[in-house]
Amino acid sequence: MTNPADRNTTLAVPHPGPLNPRGITITCAACNAARDWLLIHVHPDLVFVRCRCTHEWLEHDLEPADVNEARDDAFEEREWASFEEMYRGLGFDGLLAGTIWH
């Protein structure tokens, strides 16, 4: 998927590092995590951030380009039957809440 805005798609990209749009580090309001996010670009220009604790919010300081930038050479596109299946498959279903990835 080259650009989710080209069609009715959703792009979800794991982002292990911190997010610092506008120079301010984003933290989860539910658990205070400061890194290890799932960035979700929903057509046409909405970007949501999901934490491992399952807290999810619309992040107005991120743009679709930020989600595309988070993709790397190892990024593997997949289609999921549902959001729940996607969250479970990527480890953002709450099972790994509080886990710190290195």
- The β-bridge relationship of strands 56-58 and 46-51 is antiparallel
Q: Which pLDDT score, from 0 to 100, does residue 52 have?
A: 92
Q: Name the residue among 17, 16, 12 with its Cα closest to residue 46.
A: 12
Q: Give strand pairing partners of 10.
A: 42
Q: Which pLDDT score, from 0 to 100, does residue 80 have?
A: 87
Q: Assign 3-state DSSP to the chain and report helix, strand, coil percentages, each to 5.
A: 20, 20, 60
The DSSP element (H or E) to which 70 belongs, if any, is helix 64-70
CA–CA gap between residue 84 and residue 81 (Å, rounded): 8
Mean pLDDT by 10 residues, the chain (102 residues): 54 93 94 94 92 95 91 80 91 78 52
Q: Which pLDDT score, from 0 to 100, does residue 8 have?
A: 61
Q: Which pLDDT score, from 0 to 100, does residue 99 have?
A: 65
Q: Which pLDDT score, from 0 to 100, does residue 64 have?
A: 92
pTM over 0.85: no
